[in-house]
Structure 1
Amino acid sequence: MRWANGWKIQYIFVRFMIPYFLFMLFTLLAGALFYRQTYDVVKKEVTHSNLQMLDQVKETVDSRFNEINRISLQLQSDPAVQSFQQVKEPFRDTTAYKVYRTQKSLYSYNAANGFILNYYLIFKNSDLALSPDSTYELPSFYRYMFSEPSKDYTTWRNDLLGHFRNREIMSSGSTVYQGKTTDLLTYVQSLGYPGHIQGALMILVDNQRLQSLLRGIDISDGGWVSIVDEKGRLVTSLSSGGMVTRQSLPPGAKSGVIEASAATGGMMMTYTTSSYNGWSYVVAQPPHVVLSKVLAIKHTTVTILLAFLIFGLILAYLFATRSGRPIVNITSALTSRLNGGELKRPKDMYGYIQHSLARLIDNNDELQQEIERQAPLLRESFFGRLLQGEYLMAEHVKSLLKHQNADIQGSGCAVGIVQFHRGGHRFQEEELRELDIERVLIQDMLGRTLKGCPFTYPVAEDKIAVLFVNGQGDPGAFRKTVERELQQLTLEISRHGLQAGFAMGGYRTSLLEVPESFEEARQALTRVQEAGPSQSVWFEDLAHDHRGFYFPAESENRLMNYIKAGETEEVRKLLASLYRENFEERHLPLAMQQLFVLDLVGCLVKVQDQLMVKEQADMRQLLQQLGTANHPKQAFDNATERFAEISDGIDQRKKSRNVQLIRDTVDYIHHQYGQADLSLDAAADHLNISKGYLSQFFKEQTGVNFSEYVENLRMDKAKQLLSETRLPIRDIAQQVGYHASSTFCRAFKRGSGISATAYRDIAHKKPASPLHRQDA
């Protein structure tokens, strides 16, 4: 059984988990797509920001070098400079003046460019270096003013004047300038033309000022930034080693991003190329530096997705378990009930539940049909007991009528007897079969013709008792209506070749008086044969012979039943009606009165014997009163009082038993309210009484139904646990007798108007008063 239940739970769990899992998968895919879109957008923005920064550096550098080139062009085209290029002996005779005049002309080209430290005109023929504020012979210039540590003078001079240079960076890096090591860029523009070099313009650019433009770029964690000229030569950089050349960039590309790879040394490269001079500005950064924002978003997104996945799986597990357990319980209950307690593993639980419900509905329909088929039998049984006077209280009669959906609405009623088949009764098989056929036909005709007649009862093989109800209020009009209906019934019976006579009892205003009307109908039945075929005889039309007293067996049975039930009031009413009938309406001789009282005393003796009354009445005193000519009524009164005393004693004993029974019932409920299988059936079995009697008895004693009382008790206990403990709702539901917490929560909210959680919050926030604690 445990294995079967475990398999069911796993099966249902998986089935319920699938929708939640698909939903989470869809959500995760949507989150991944959103993350990818966000990643691409942020990455594009970051790389675009780097490109913008490089473009700003490029534009600034282009602007400064454009100024440098303009100065270079002006100096090249200056007449004094062009004239001095042919001087070979600068300090001979009048040529010394040319040196002075050429130097003075350089004052016109003082640059406000912050990149330029100074500039010099190097003349090849005269071996002079001129600046606006100084004149040096070329060896002295290289020795005292400007020199490169890696070259001697001859090498430097040949390199400078041996090749035609057009706006080139001849050298960069550490240079000795004015006796100090300075980071410079040497911008060179040769004078003359290729093949006939007359000198060179050398402009010294402050490399620190140029690099300050590049320091705004983040090159942490091994990154670097560099400027490369159009020939792939390094102009400047902010890191050592690992510089890329122009060939490392995509050919023909003006700007872009190169993703990190082995070829780039694991660096993400951003580059742009100047359209002015063809220089390339390249920045290489580790991916985590470039994409720090993107990686932060990635980390946040992945964390959220993982948290959502874990939390979603937990919720899915809880929801699947919560949703699946009732299905398993329902399936187990259906399996155990419908399969005789044998647990079988259904392949499809929903299909099994649907099939089981269909079976239950079909069984219920069959049960209802069977109840409907038995309804006429129950109605006949009820009417038969009513004719015999077995019902003692009008409330019981009304309850039974309501149960049979045959509520009788009227101010009075009368009992009639239909007698058919006038022949003698030989009780032969053929004759009995004919009687059965005739009885079925007449009952069918009664149902169709007498529409106000809900009850019939076969009192014998050839007699059917019928209850007529007065729905008009006037007894006279009621008799006319009954006579008209009997005439219609007579015609209907005659069409089938049958004959029937009708005997009608007296009119009564209460259903408890139906036995008297039935007895009168039986007395009138003796005159039906004398009246002729198809005639009706009314008891009230008969000439009454009062030579005998009135105390029929039905009245005696009713009297004894009333006493046994402890209905003292009904006992007195019945005895009063017998007194009125025998001592007032019938003028009986003394002997007949004595016989009546004697018969009543005999009934008293029967009652005392059957009920085993300890203090029995002195029969000799009653018999002596009967022997006295003037005291038969006194003997009747004494017998009446004795009947009342016995009835009162029975009533007291019944009340005492009721008190004990209700005490036992309530004690049982208070001990078993925590059991989920507590029901009216279980209580009735425990108390050894019928379910129907316990239900009616409990309602009479407490004013509420059994189930309502149990639910109220469970709610009171649950409120106490909610107020005084911190137990989970599930545990409280189990302690007060509920299988599932959902059923308990619905019952609690239905009874209290708020949820159990809200009640607990209120109870814990507001301490209970002493009166409330005492009530609890």
Structure 2
Amino acid sequence: MKPMVIRFFIPYAIFLLFALFIGWFMHEQTLSVVETQMKDANMMVLDQGKEILDLRLDEVASIVRQLELDPKVAQFLTVERPLEGTNTYRIVEMHKHLYEHGLTNKFITNYYLLFRRSNMVINRTMAEQLPAFYEYRYSVADKTYEQWYSEIFDKFRQFTVLPASPMLLDGKPHTMLTYIHSMGLPPVSSGVIAVSIDNREVQTLLEGLDLSTDGWAYIADKDGRLISYVTKGSDVIPEIVKLDGDKGVLKMGIGSKEMMVTYTTSTYNGWKYVTVQPTHIVLEKVNYVKRITLFIAIGSLFLGIGLAIVLAYRNWRPVGRLVTNNEQLQQKLKDQMPFLRHAFFERLLKGEFASDSEIELLMEHLGIRMEGNGFVVVLLHLRDHDNEEVLSTDMLLQRELHRLLLREYFSTSTEIEVYLHDVESSKLAAIIGGTFSSQEVRIDFIRELLEETKEEMGQLHGMHPVFAIGSVQPSYKGIARSYEEAKYALNYNIWHRGKDTVWFEQLPKESHKYYFPTDTEQRLMNVVRAGETEQLQQMMEELFDENFVHRTLSLQMLQLFIANLIGNMLKLSEQLLTTDLGEAIPVLAKQADSLEGARAVYHQLTEILLAITDAGRQRKKSGNIELVHQLVTYLQDSYSNPDLSLSAVADYFQLSETYLSRIFKEHTGHAFSDYLEELRMKRAGELLQDTDLPVSVIVKEVGYQSSNTFGRAFKRVYGVSATSFRSAGKP
């Protein structure tokens, strides 16, 4: 019997060892695959959330900069008594003015302008004193008004985000992040721009993570402060993990549990995006596979090879569920891919990337394979309803159908990958790459492709698109240039009613852009406002030389340049309240119907601008004379006030000290302090000569607090002391 048992046991033992080896190998492979997929999935969700939040915060920073640079906001920083005099009108004006800064960003719940000196808070819908605002509209949990006021004003902050906190907004509970930006000069904060961001908007970016009841995900700033977090268990309190490096996945002990930590760091603001999951949760299904494998091995001892195979087959069912769950997660990520690709091509065509390496990294991340030794952008213009001012629903549906047909054709009719991007409702941008032996071969290929497309679309679908082709560029960054060239070629073709296909390199070699950069445009408007006629004359001559002499611009481009100039003139005329140009401007614009006509119109516009500048200067000069008259009268009535000074007078007239000092010197020929001193000394001489008042009394009568200061000033003006002046009876 024993030999027979041994003979049966030996092959059984061999099969059992083989099954155990297979089970162990499969377990290790599954463990590796699941860990890798979980790490990659977590990292992808964190990176996606990071990119979206960076973009949103950059939009918030842009809105904050606009508010900070707004002149009305800057002027209100110095107001101390907001409810007195003209300050009430300032509040109303700024309240109305803030309507121009509308909230088009759904990421922002609201913003507030808080002013320290006036103790006011103003936004698009309200203007209140700070204490009332905090009591009835905006209060932070567990913070008194004094604590909140100290946190907001005592520290000078620039583009800082405070962690999410529970608060009451208009009596309703919310959890908000607060974006803080101090105004004024550091270290003192004269005012604060506070932007409220709903914490739910931030938490939404982390909802794609599988956290379980013991896990959490959070965002921390570069100083380690918790900005926002999400958990599945209500009693889970996130713990900030100390991490080295900018990105990675690691296992560590947190409390009494082993955790898997995935993290990445934003290059925009240094924030860390972290997910913490119990390792046993991540590997739970794999451990389940391991237990089943062991059970199969033990069962195989009693039930034989056949039962072991059945159990091994059943052992794969949990793995199948695991794969299904992973596929669902991948599908969720795949659903977001079209939006990310659209944003990528938008930035690529606008030239917003810094290097080819950055573009290659994003293409790999998005699954875009655009390779070759050259790249061309073809702009496809659907001109089916160009002559219609308003498109009906049927027209829009027809245009959308044509776009889909073009996409389908390009995706199936060529062996080279062609990427299409929606530019406008009637335009598509096609990016064509590929490797060719020469540029001539590439051009022939593109020409043949476009001819086939034109023929196919025309015969089968009645479409007659226009193709505008930019030049061939050797790198990814050059795609933006090829796109701009294609746009120029299309506009040129529309203007000149050209053929269905236009190549940028075949256009007439003329300068295709007029010279009137934004900084020059702003400087010209400032020169006109300042009344600097000589400087304006010089600038207009420089613009004429650049656009009419040094550049060979088309008539259309010159007309655009003149239209831009006319627009600035109309704004200046309205701002400076000069003669209405509404009737004269259309007549002038029509005269620019030829190159000579454009030159003549430019010279006429120069004369009009000079007239506007001179009129503004005269009005400004007249206003300054009246202001100086008021200043002199005020000084003559108030010189006996010992607190009278340049700063006090500037505050009284609501002017800057520099501006007041300059116009006073221009119109009186005296510095402010010298004039005030002469006024006081003149009165002191009269009192010394005509009265018997003691010198100590005269000192106070003429606005001095110190006899020594008075004595030095008197001797500087009259050459002798006050006592000697009285004794000698000098006039």
Query: Is TM > 0.5 for Structure 1 vs Structure 2?
Result: no
TM-score, normalization by structure 1: 0.37
TM-score, normalization by structure 2: 0.39
